[in-house]
Structure 1
């Protein structure tokens, strides 16, 4: 599919067809897109919770009470085919960085021990800069939003509708999945599926500021 066509036609879906389910092969590609998302120094400071059945979506829907200001997002969770919660790690511990390092070595990224040690020291240096600045959690959260962008674009390219949702109670998700003990913060949910005929947003033209407004020459 043409990239610009996808960018011009994908949109935040407002209503889903609950009878349609994303094929498993497509779901696998979407989850792999998340796993292969870019992150600073390849820290991959995230964890993704996937709701792929009614029970899982009901658990996520607890964060959008059926009354109150967040109720409008509840159907987007319950009627979608799949929903993913994108969580950020609150810190980058030495043990976690070693886990990343070991996986990189397993995947053949290091020619020898010296190469591994150099990268380990370089990454630790960047992490320490953020520890000293007191913004590791915020740094990690920015990486998670890179993954969100990858997922939204991937969904569009695969013909899957999607909705990024920040309108939920993060504390409810944290409690439901015991995220505090795991050192994770839930940031955003992404509903995935196919829009229903009731989705008026599907019929509206895309609107963006002109190139003359958003670009300038260096």
Structure 2
């Protein structure tokens, strides 16, 4: 029975799929790290009293959130041609840029909402202690706001992880693309797609459970 299981089409596809999973996780993690940096900047800019700063950040958020990530990655990969920027963009680079920009726009709203949710009294308390506005944000407001960001940031990880499946259109060898390559070669479509879905679930379900536990622990 064990030998039959190991010889099944489900198990045979795993080495091929795990190769794609590595790239999926790489794109997701790097894209989200860069996306958080971009999102933090844009989120704080959305709270700025400077009209130009606020305007630029708002346009960025609305444009990115108002267009599908599939269109964004195709624009980056096909639209930003060598004639326009002087370099060829690889599929992997385009995928990371797309996740960074897309996640950054949503994280900007997470940051803006979290900071905005902190009671104004915290800002006033910092100023009464002689702290500058920047110091108040850094030492008093930001730590409290970041605590509230953790659950939605975790949800963004899940969303971005699933969004990487769209990058098969530019031949990035992520999980779904490798699954398609495998079942095109073996004609084992059902078995391969079942394993692709199970691998996604093996990541998203534990992540969701961990997020719920963190949310309860932090009481946010």
Normalised by the size of structure 2, how large is the TM-score? 0.25
Structure ranking higher in strand proportion: 1
Give the number of the structure whose alpha-carbon radius of gyration is greater: 2
Normalised by the size of structure 1, how large is the TM-score? 0.26
Structure ranking higher in helix proportion: 2
